[in-house]
Amino acid sequence: MRVLITGAAGFIGSHLCDRFIQEGFEVIGMDNFITGSPDNIAHLFGHPKFKFIHYNVVNYIYLEGPVDIVLHFACPASPADYMSHPIHTMKVDSLGTLNTLGFAKLKKARYVFASTSEVYGDPTVHPQPETYWGNVNPIGPRSVYDEAKRFSEALCMAYHREHGIDVRILRIFNTYGPRMRMNDGRVIPNFITQALKGEPLTVYGNGEQTRSFCYIDDLVEGIFMASVKDGLSGEVINLGNPQEFRIIDIAKLIIELTNSNSKIVFYPPLPDDPKRRCPDISKAKRLLSWEPKKPLREGLLETINWFRKKLKDA
Ligand code: UDP
């Protein structure tokens, strides 16, 4: 079996490359390193089952030979990243989705799309089931990501309905773990880096907003199962950890786990920042017999160790 993974040098993409290779797949990884890093896949270079192509999927894609599964995971994913690359973000989840879907059609491959909890916007239904249509500001600063992901979902379903492509849309909620970029702007890398450097932890707004954090290994397990299992064509599945935390409590926990003397400082809230977010994962449990296993404290400790080492090497 041969898979194409776009965004292969990214946080999630690189872990997916590892997992598919471990399972005996041949992996073709693509990335243009806008937010991904060669460091994340350096250990795979020279591996007989891994091939890397430095490429921007916004352009027409062609590869020789059979491909069984296409996983489209390329896209700046942190709010800071997608707001600093707004047009590129929209291209990779419109033209990039179109190109990868067209490629899947040509190869008669299964197609797995990395969607996001951001399709629910600032949700008015809690927790969010897949049947919820969302509450997205179409012209706000986050819309470049949210609307591109929603457009991509619509494209996946159009290819599914018109061409019978076996598509699976995975709505991925907040995920954390080793290989996140220290400066990617997301809450966990920010807080850990700040705590380790003894700098103040920057809470946006009053910190009462909530998120639910899934450890990378749990997420990758869910994505792998959703990719290889038969009978899921046209399904939309939430993947995330349903344990919900206030951001202020995450800040306090990270200060505790790093033994840091850092203080917490409050900044103005970000525009359109969702106030609550928590996945309803009953569908993933039913279809994949999957649920996250790693408790937050444990996952954070592993992530802290990884960041500590990165800071030492920097
Ligand atoms: N956040 C924060 N301080 C930071 C970074 C993020 O308080 O230094 C908050 C942010 O306002 C949001 C939550 O943490 O409410 C999660 O933000 P993140 O950028 O990680 O991802 P999002 O879930 O918004 O996509």
Q: CA 86, CA 72: separation in Å to the nearest integer?
A: 18
Read off the pLDDT of residues 59-90 as tens digits, 9 standing for 90 and up: 999 999 999 999 999 999 999 999 999 999 99
Q: List, in order, residues 6 or more apart from 286 with CB less than 8 Å away.
A: none
Has residue 254 got a pLDDT over 90? yes
270 C-beta closer than 6 A to ligand 1: yes
10, 71 contact by CB (below 8 A): no
- The per-residue pLDDT for 314 is 84
High-pLDDT (> 90) share of the chain, %: 99
273 C-beta closer than 6 A to ligand 1: yes
pLDDT at residue number 78: 96
Which residues touch 263 (CB under 8 Å, ≥6 apart)? Answer: 200, 201
Q: Which residues, 6 or more positions from 46, have their beta carbon under 8 angstroms from its beta carbon?
A: none
The Cα 11–Cα 302 span in angstroms is 15
Query: Which residue puts its alpha carbon closest to atom 3 of ligand 1?
Result: 203
Query: Residue with the nearest Cα to atom 22 of ligand 1?
Result: 79
174 lines ligand 1 (CB under 6 A): yes
Nearest CA to ligand 1 atom 16: 187
Q: Ligand 1 centre from 221 Cα, in Å? A: 25
Query: What's the pLDDT tens digit per position in 7-65?
Result: 999 999 999 999 999 999 999 999 999 999 999 999 999 999 999 999 999 999 999 99
Closest ligand 1 atom to 201 CA:
8
Nearest CA to ligand 1 atom 13: 187
Distance from residue 290's CA to the centre of ligand 1 (Å) = 26
Ligand 1 binding pocket includes 208 (Cβ within 6 Å) = no
Distance CA 7, CA 16 (A): 10
Shortest-distance atom of ligand 1 to CA 191: 8
Mean pLDDT of the chain: 98
Structure tokens at 14: 């690189």
- Written as six digits, the tokens of 244 are 């919900």
Is 266 a pocket residue for ligand 1 (Cβ < 6 Å)? no
Measured in angstroms, how far is the CA atom of residue 230 from the centroid of ligand 1? 36
pTM of this prediction? 0.98
Q: Confirm or reject: Cβ of 204 under 6 Å from ligand 1.
A: yes
Q: Name the residue with the closest Cα to ligand 1, atom 23.
A: 174
Q: What's the gap in Å between 186 CA and the centre of ligand 1?
A: 6
Ligand 1 centroid, distance to 234 Cα (angstroms): 31
Catalytic residue IDs: 145
Can you tell me the distance from the alpha carbon of 241 to that of 221, in angstroms, rounded to the nearest whole number? 12
Tell me what the mean pLDDT of segment 187-202 comes to.
98
Categorise residue 175: left if φ over 0, alpha if ψ from -120 to 50, beta otherwise. beta
pLDDT for the residue 309: 96
Q: What's the average model confidence in pLDDT over 204-208?
A: 98
Cβ atoms 191, 251 nearer than 8 A: yes
Q: Which of 187, 193, 208, 265 to mutate to test the pocket of ligand 1 (most atoms within 8 A of CB)?
A: 187
pLDDT band at 172 (very low <50, low <70, confident <90, very high): very high
